[in-house]
Amino acid sequence: MKKVGDNKYNQFYEMLLKAPSAVGMVKGENHVYEMVNPLYLQLMGRKDVIGKTVAEVFPEMEEQGIIAQLDRVYQTGETYNGKERLIKVANKDTGGYADFYLDYVYQPYIDNDGLIAGVFFFINDRTEQVTTKKKIEKSESQYRRIVETAQEGIWLLDEFGRTTFVNKKLCEILEYSEVEMLGKKNSFFMDEASKRQALKALERRKRGVAESLEYKFISKSGKKILTKVAANPIFDDAENFKGSLGMVSDITEKKHLEELLEKSNRLARIGSWEIDVEKNTVYWSDITKEIREAPANFIPDLSTGIGFFTEGINQKIIAQRVKECMENGTPWDEELQFKTFKGNLKWVRTIGEAVFTNGKCSKIYGCFQDITERKNAVNKIFRSEAKLKVAQTIAQVGSWEVDIFTNTHTWSDEIYRILGMDKSVVPSAETFLDFVHPDDRPMASKRVAEAFAKHQDSSFYFQFYKENDELGYGLTEWRFEFDKAGNPLYISGILRDLTKEKKAENERLKMISDLHQRNNDLEQFSYIVSHNLRSPVANIIGLTEELKDESHSAEVKKILGEALISDAHRLENVIGDLNTILQTKTEITERKELVIFSDLTHDIELSISNLIQKEEVAITTDFSAIDEFNTIKSYLQSIFYNLISNSIKFRQPTVRPLIEISSQLSKNKLILTFKDNGSGIDLEKKGDEVFGLYKRFHADREGKGMGLYMVKTQVETLGGKISVASKVNSGTVFTVEFEHDA
Amino acid sequence: MNLPNRFIVVDDDRISNLICELACRRFSSLPEIKTFLDPHEALSFIKDAYTNSQNSTPTMLFLDINMPVISGWDFLDIFNELPPHIRQQFSIYILTSSLEQRDVEKAEAHKYVKGLLSKPLSAETIEGIYSEDIFITK
């Protein structure tokens, strides 16, 4: 501006200086500061700018495009308006940048020649307004977001109850769009009962009552929606009722779950209870009252709760638990006995927990479950198991089970006892097989494998060694259990100890065999005797017939007569033998006495000393194991005598007879052995005739063939057994066994 | 009527043998009568006398069952081992005092035993078996 019109210029200048906007002018193509007002300097945070270019003072303006804008105005003469533009200005002191929102005008300055000489600028700082506006916007959008994303429905009604605002959630709940809802009364969407409720509620709202209510709505699709509404009245500054704000929660699901819980509690007989410690009130749910057999309208107190537990340990425990819980917050879970109001004894599971407020117990609550049935059932099972155990022990039958799914094996106690196993042994198919007798193990293994593979019911017998090394005999039998689809679930089996039965069976078989043997002996005896009687008789008959013939010479008659006498004697002898044998076989009338073997042998040696000398017999004895036996002396004498004389009689002609007699004790048997080096017996041919009556093997030796038969008879009458081992020309061994109890 | 050329009695009972001898003699004085107390001796004699002979008429042999050392059945077992031409020359009869049914059955079952006779042997008995014309070897 020229100095002409200085007054006007000065007035303008004054105005400019005091203008409420930041004002200034830059000259030239480099935009040198010509003039600025103090406000500008204050706003932009600079001092001495006159004479400097904008670029110099605000290097940061370049990249923000300010210089370019100035250039444009300078070159084109077009005014530039910037509205609420964000400009970053460097703060010289801190080195940081401040954000400004500025309204500014760049106007070309035309000189007197009509040429653009510079740029006027007017800047208004709108930072505060803008930031405030932004804050409001942000806050509004936050609120909006809250409202829109709320899990609860938000409902605004006017003073007539008509909808002015609904959020997204509410629309979801009721399945109506915002547009469909606006303007309609809230009761429009309710069921009949709730409508009436809403009408009354509106009145209360007008009176300023804020409350929580349950309303039933009907959704667009006809669904029943149960809601809990927290309703607040809205008043303006003049305290006029302007409307209501409602926070709507869809509790349909929650209600449903509550009903389910109630139902399942009822089914499980679980009742709940609550003690408000501060108010000193007690609440019992219906089921709790039912369990306690209390009337439905009964109002309990704390003492009623504890008092009904049975005196003694039950009451003590519950009292202590409650105390602990109230003092330290320790929860409890106990199974106790209590008496109902009606006096019935029941078992109950009581669970309790405490709520602490400000370090003090304010409330304890918990549940109460009637477990009488379960307890009784458990007891029944215990009893049942005990009975089964006893039954198994008595019957000597053990039971086992395999859970196929988990591959768990279980054995009853009786199985361990039968097999003689320690109870710590883990049951399994392998452990069982280990206990089976080695002879039977391959068979048993095979059967077990088959069972698991084919899922068939079966059984098998097996031998095993008992604890005392006795041979045991067992039977295991099993059955498969299947599910509906035919898959095997369990194998149930038993193990029977049949050792006793087997023993009895063995004894029975032995008895039968003995009887057979006896029978055979008798038959043989009767056959032989009858023959030996018949033989002389036949001869006598023949001879007497011949004697009738007178034509025989005296010589012949004499022979016949002698023969007759001889056979008559023979007959007499047989009858005599029969008598002896029968006497020996029947009851022993003689007394038993202690017989010393060495003395007996010595006496016999003396009595046949001549024979011994003649035949050069040597007799050795070894009675070191045992030298005495309580028995019938005469029988034992006969036995020794017959065996010794037999050995001498049937010596080998070329060998000096040696007879060795010895005794042994084995388990509970006394064994006497008579060994000789005589001519032996061909047992293959004559084995079963050795002890036969009148059986003789050597025609050239003396003897009726009665000696060994008598020996056998006598041995057996004394309750013993005799057996023979021999080989032709190698000698013979007779073994005599007696039961010995000492 | 073809008389047996010889009678043989095998029995360990001397008196029984005496009775048999007398019975045979009464039946006929012609055939030779040989008695043996020892079956082994009898068997040796048979081997010696019959190996090279070829008699037209058979020998009647009376055999006792109950003998010590070897029984009548044992004797027969050994007899079976002899060559057929020897065996063919014999008609064997078991002579026994036994009445046992099993002995009867055993005799009937035996190939070379023609029959079982009860002691004492008599001339009548011999006549009886002789006239039944059972000289044909089985």
Q: What does the pLDDT look like over A176-213, one tens digit per residue?
A: 999 999 999 998 999 889 899 999 999 999 999 999 99
**Residue contact A538–B120, C-beta within 8 A:** yes
A673 touches chain B (CB under 8 A): no
Per-residue confidence at A698, pLDDT binned at 50, 70, 90?
A: low
A686 touches chain B (CB under 8 A): no
Query: Which of A367, A372, A302, A362 shows the shortest CA–CA distance to A336?
Result: A372
Q: What does the pLDDT read at residue A231?
A: 93
- The CA distance from A433 to A444, in Å, is 7
CATH class of A268-370: alpha beta
User: Mind listing the domains of chain B with CATH numbers?
Assistant: 6-131 (3.40.50.2300)
- The CA distance from A604 to A644, in Å, is 9
CATH of domain A504-584: 1.10.287.130
**Residue contact A539–B38, C-beta within 8 A:** no
- The CA distance from A409 to A403, in Å, is 7
Per-residue pLDDT of B33-83, as tens digits, reads: 999 998 999 999 998 888 887 777 788 899 998 887 788 888 998 998 888
Q: Which two tokens stand for residue A270?
A: 């679980």
Q: Which of A535, A696, A698 faces B97 most closely, judged by CB atoms?
A: A535
Q: What is the mean pLDDT of residues A299-307?
A: 76
Q: What does the pLDDT read at residue A144?
A: 84
Per-residue confidence at A103, pLDDT binned at 50, 70, 90?
A: very high
Q: What does the pLDDT read at residue A248?
A: 92
B18 contacts on A by Cβ (under 8 Å)? 559-560, 563
B68 contacts on A by Cβ (under 8 Å)? 694-699, 705
The DSSP code for A591 is P
- The CA distance from A301 to A296, in Å, is 15
Q: In 10 A of CB A177, how many CB atoms?
A: 11
Q: b/e for A658-682, b at 16 or more Cβ within 10 A?
A: bbbbbbbeeeeebbbbbbbbbbbbe
Q: b/e for A340-367, b at 16 or more Cβ within 10 A?
A: beeeeebbbbbbbebeeeeeebebbebb
Q: What does the pLDDT read at residue A696?
A: 63
Query: Which of A30, A28, A60, A31 shows the shortest CA–CA distance to A44?
Result: A60
- The CA distance from A271 to A206, in Å, is 42
pLDDT exceeds cutoff 70 at B133: no
Per-residue pLDDT of A437-475, as tens digits, reads: 999 999 999 999 998 888 989 999 999 988 778 888 999
Per-residue pLDDT of A713-729, as tens digits, reads: 888 888 889 999 998 88
pLDDT exceeds cutoff 60 at A1: no
Percent of chain B with pLDDT over 70: 92
Task: For CATH 3.30.565.10, list the domain ranges present in chain A.
Answer: 589-739
A·B CB contacts under 8 A: 63
Maximum average pLDDT range among A194-208, A266-280, A587-601: A194-208
Per-residue confidence at A695, pLDDT binned at 50, 70, 90?
A: low
**Residue contact A543–B15, C-beta within 8 A:** yes
Q: What is the mean pLDDT of residues A725-735?
A: 91
For residue A471, the one-letter residue type is L
Q: What does the pLDDT read at residue A313?
A: 83
CATH of domain A150-255: 3.30.450.20
pLDDT exceeds cutoff 60 at A3: no
**Residue contact B16–A542, C-beta within 8 A:** yes
Q: What does the pLDDT read at residue A211?
A: 93
CATH class of A589-739: alpha beta
Q: What is the mean pLDDT of residues A327-349?
A: 88
A696 touches chain B (CB under 8 A): yes
Candidates A524, A528, A533, A535: best to mutate against B (most CBs of B within 10 A) is: A535
Q: What does the pLDDT read at residue B110?
A: 79
CA angle A693–A657–B12, rounded 5-degree value: 35
A531 touches chain B (CB under 8 A): yes
Q: What does the pLDDT read at residue A478?
A: 92
Whether residue B58 is preceded by a cis peptide bond, meaning omega within 30 degrees of 0, is: no
Domain A6-132 architecture: 2-Layer Sandwich (3.30)
- The CA distance from A26 to A116, in Å, is 11
Domain A377-497 grouped into CATH 3.30.450.20: yes
Per-residue confidence at A672, pLDDT binned at 50, 70, 90?
A: very high
Per-residue confidence at A588, pLDDT binned at 50, 70, 90?
A: low
B15 touches chain A (CB under 8 A): yes
Candidates A526, A530, A537, A539: best to mutate against B (most CBs of B within 10 A) is: A539
B120 contacts on A by Cβ (under 8 Å)? 538-539, 541-543, 545
Give the 3-state secondary structure of residue A589: coil
- The CA distance from A353 to A316, in Å, is 18
For residue A125, the one-letter residue type is D
**Is the CB of residue A686 less than 8 Å from the CB of residue B74?**
no
A566 contacts on B by Cβ (under 8 Å)? 15
DSSP codes, B43-64: HHHHHHHHSS---SSPEEEEEE
Mean of pLDDT over chain A: 87
Q: What is the mean pLDDT of residues A510-529?
A: 77
How far B69 CA sits from the closest chain A CA (Å)? 4
What Cα–Cα distance (Å) separates residue A364 from each residue in A272, A281, A357? 11, 11, 11
Tokens 């929580």 appear where? A212
**Residue contact A538–B100, C-beta within 8 A:** no
Element (H, E) at B72: helix B72-80
Residues 56-75 of A with CB under 8 A from B: none
Q: b/e for A514-542, b at 16 or more Cβ within 10 A?
A: eeeeeeebeebbebbbebbbbbbbbbbbb
Q: What does the pLDDT read at residue A2?
A: 52
Q: What is the mean pLDDT of residues A578-593?
A: 72
Nearest-10 Cα torsion for A506, A508, A512, A517:
60
How far A456 CA sits from the closest chain B CA (Å)? 54
> Which residues have C-beta within 8 Å of that of residue A355, sequence separation ≥ 6?
A361, A362, A363, A364, A365
Q: Which of B18, B69, B122 faces A563 most closely, judged by CB atoms?
A: B18
pLDDT exceeds cutoff 70 at B1: no
A696 contacts on B by Cβ (under 8 Å)? 68-69
A527 touches chain B (CB under 8 A): yes
Q: What is the mean pLDDT of residues A669-690?
A: 86
B121 touches chain A (CB under 8 A): yes
Q: Which two tokens stand for residue A536?
A: 């002389």
Element (H, E) at B9: strand B6-10
What Cα–Cα distance (Å) separates residue A61 from each residue in A38, A64, A65, A140, A681? 20, 5, 6, 33, 144
Strand runs (DSSP E) across A597-742, as ranges?
618-622, 628-631, 658-666, 669-676, 721-727, 731-739
Q: What is the mean pLDDT of residues A396-407?
A: 90
A530 touches chain B (CB under 8 A): yes
Percent of chain A with pLDDT over 90: 27
Task: For CATH 3.30.450.20, list the domain ranges present in chain A.
Answer: 6-132, 150-255, 268-370, 377-497
B69 contacts on A by Cβ (under 8 Å)? 696-699
Q: Does the reported pTM lie above 0.80? A: no
Query: Which of A103, A124, A89 shows the shortest CA–CA distance to A19?
Result: A124
Which chain A residue is nearest to residue B66, measuring alpha carbons?
A531
Per-residue pLDDT of B109-122, as tens digits, reads: 877 788 888 888 88
pLDDT exceeds cutoff 60 at A586: yes
A370 touches chain B (CB under 8 A): no
Give the 3-state secondary structure of residue A201: helix
A530 contacts on B by Cβ (under 8 Å)? 98-99
A558 touches chain B (CB under 8 A): no
Give the 3-state secondary structure of residue B7: strand
